[in-house]
Amino acid sequence: MNSLKPLFSFFQKLQPISTQARSDLIELCTVIEYDKNEEIQAIGATCKTIYFMVSGIGRIFYLKGGVEVTEYFAFPNDLIVRAESLFTKSPSNKAIQALEQSKVVAIPAAALFGLFDEHHDLERLFRLLIQNAFVETLRRLENIQFLTAEERYEKLLEEKPELIHKIPLKHVASFLGITQVSLSRIRGQKR
Amino acid sequence: MNSLKPLFSFFQKLQPISTQARSDLIELCTVIEYDKNEEIQAIGATCKTIYFMVSGIGRIFYLKGGVEVTEYFAFPNDLIVRAESLFTKSPSNKAIQALEQSKVVAIPAAALFGLFDEHHDLERLFRLLIQNAFVETLRRLENIQFLTAEERYEKLLEEKPELIHKIPLKHVASFLGITQVSLSRIRGQKR
DNA sequence: CGAGGCCTTGACCGCGGTCAATGCCCGTGG
DNA sequence: CCACGGGCATTGACCGCGGTCAAGGCCTCG
């Protein structure tokens, strides 16, 4: 499949893998296309699939007292995985959704983990991906814990300005850990 | 060394490793003893060592505007690692400290990563440890973002009651993301 | 016994939350 | 082509959680 190219060259930079590993991995990949706002994974299912964003934007969210809370946004090449479900084999209370018309690579987790026995380099690639996700989560934790809502918004503006323009503000707000209303005020007062 | 026993049987349950891998790993382990309040790693150094708690209690903290913020407590068998420094090879703004008289296993990261080439099972063990740490961090993020200070305290009481009795409340407070003063009020009002 | 660290308590305040009204944009059907 | 309805964003009024500052009690240790 041709849409796999950019993803695999991204992998290659992180951790080169043998051509055999590469083709075994490609075997497992399915490219799926989703419409705007379509659900990729529903709440309640145990996560058994690892996704990568090829094009478009995805998000992971859950319900907290009837209100949607966005936990993560995925841009092209980003891993999308409900880690707490996949790694603990318990049902996830989170859903994955496409925010735009999107292409996504789906890899069945069990089969991928099976490949790790033959292809040491694949396991390493995967370990590095997890490590990066871990580091990013640690950063998010620090920010949420010790910056004000306004500072978090500023930081997001610096680091991912495109995000604010492409994604409905209500999702950005819950990602920042605040309400739509507060975000609107913060944005209002610098104008 | 005999104090390695419980740690290695903990490893064994997570991911069995070959006897060769085991003895190579043991080669790398140094057991170090620290006094109460002694510093294990200072702020500013790039993290090059992976630690495991054998006995006692450790913590990772950093300074935020001159105030200590506790990010993590380590109990026996827990991994202690300043992931954002180790995995990005940049200097850490965090310190590791023993809160009691403690025994710690230190493993030089570069040498350990070197062993991964020969011992696939060791890399897997390590991957699983990272995965678990990742999941725990995700949980912490959710709690901090969407529970009130009081609810977080209740939850901590349920999940790790021993923590509150063994660790100075000022550290518990910053771990919960609140001030000493607020924690004191929360505790006060249920009595 | 005095000094310093830790915890508690009181007074006060501001950030961010809720509720509700209003404005704006866009898709749909008459 | 316009009218209507619904979703999203903004704005105002109000409030409560948790922060800061400061004083006071209680340990422990020299």
Domain boundaries, chain B: 2-119
Copy the structure tokens of residue A84.
């707490």
Check: CB of residue A77 under 8 Å from CB of residue A133: no
- CA dihedral of A97, A8, A81, B153, whole degrees rounded to 10: -120
Does at least one atom of strand C sit less than 7 Å from the CB of A37?
A: no
Confidence at residue A191, expressed as pLDDT on a 0 to 100 scale:
67
Instruction: Inform me whether the pLDDT recorded for A66 exceeds 70.
Output: yes
Residue where the block lists tokens 């290695």: B8
Q: What is the pTM of this model?
A: 0.94
Confidence at residue B90, expressed as pLDDT on a 0 to 100 scale:
96
For residue B123, the chain A residue with the least C-alpha distance is: A124
Reported confidence tier of residue B191, pLDDT bands at 50, 70, 90: low
Find the mean pLDDT for residues A74-94.
95
Find the mean pLDDT for residues B142-162.
93
Question: Residues in chain A whose beta carbon is closer than 8 A to a beta carbon of chain B?
Answer: 64, 69, 71, 83-84, 87-88, 116, 120, 123-124, 126-127, 130-135, 137-142, 144-146, 177
Measured N-to-C along each axis, helices A180-188 and A169-176 cross at an angle, to the nearest 10 degrees, of 100
Pairwise CA distance, residues B157 & B151, whole Å: 10
Express each pLDDT in B71-81 by its tens digit: 999 999 999 99
CATH class, domain B2-119, is mainly beta
Pairwise CA distance, residues B124 & A80, whole Å: 21
Separation in Å, CA B70 to CA A97, A146, B88, B175: 35, 12, 21, 5
Confidence at residue A1, expressed as pLDDT on a 0 to 100 scale:
60
Express each pLDDT in A150-183 by its tens digit: 999 999 999 999 999 999 999 999 999 999 999 9
Express each pLDDT in B29-54 by its tens digit: 999 999 999 999 999 999 999 999 99
Confidence at residue B27, expressed as pLDDT on a 0 to 100 scale:
96
B67 backbone dihedrals φ, ψ, rounded to 5°: -110, 135
Q: Which nucleotides of D are covered by protein (CB under 7 A)?
A: 8-13, 17-22
Confidence at residue B1, expressed as pLDDT on a 0 to 100 scale:
60
Find the mean pLDDT for residues B153-181.
94
Instruction: Inform me whether the pLDDT recorded for B66 exceeds 90.
Output: no
Confidence at residue A27, expressed as pLDDT on a 0 to 100 scale:
96
Confidence at residue A145, expressed as pLDDT on a 0 to 100 scale:
87
Copy the structure tokens of residue B144.
């901090």
- Report chain A residues whose CB lies below 8 A from the CB of B142: 71
Contacts of B135 (CB under 8 A, 6+ apart): A83, A84, A87, A88
Tell me the pLDDT of chain B averaged across its residues. 94
Confidence at residue B146, expressed as pLDDT on a 0 to 100 scale:
84
Percentage of chain A exceeding pLDDT 90: 92
Find the mean pLDDT for residues B159-179.
94
Percentage of chain B exceeding pLDDT 70: 98
Instruction: Inform me whether the pLDDT recorded for A38 exceeds 80.
Output: yes
Pairwise CA distance, residues B45 & B22, whole Å: 29
Express each pLDDT in B84-100 by its tens digit: 999 999 999 999 999 99
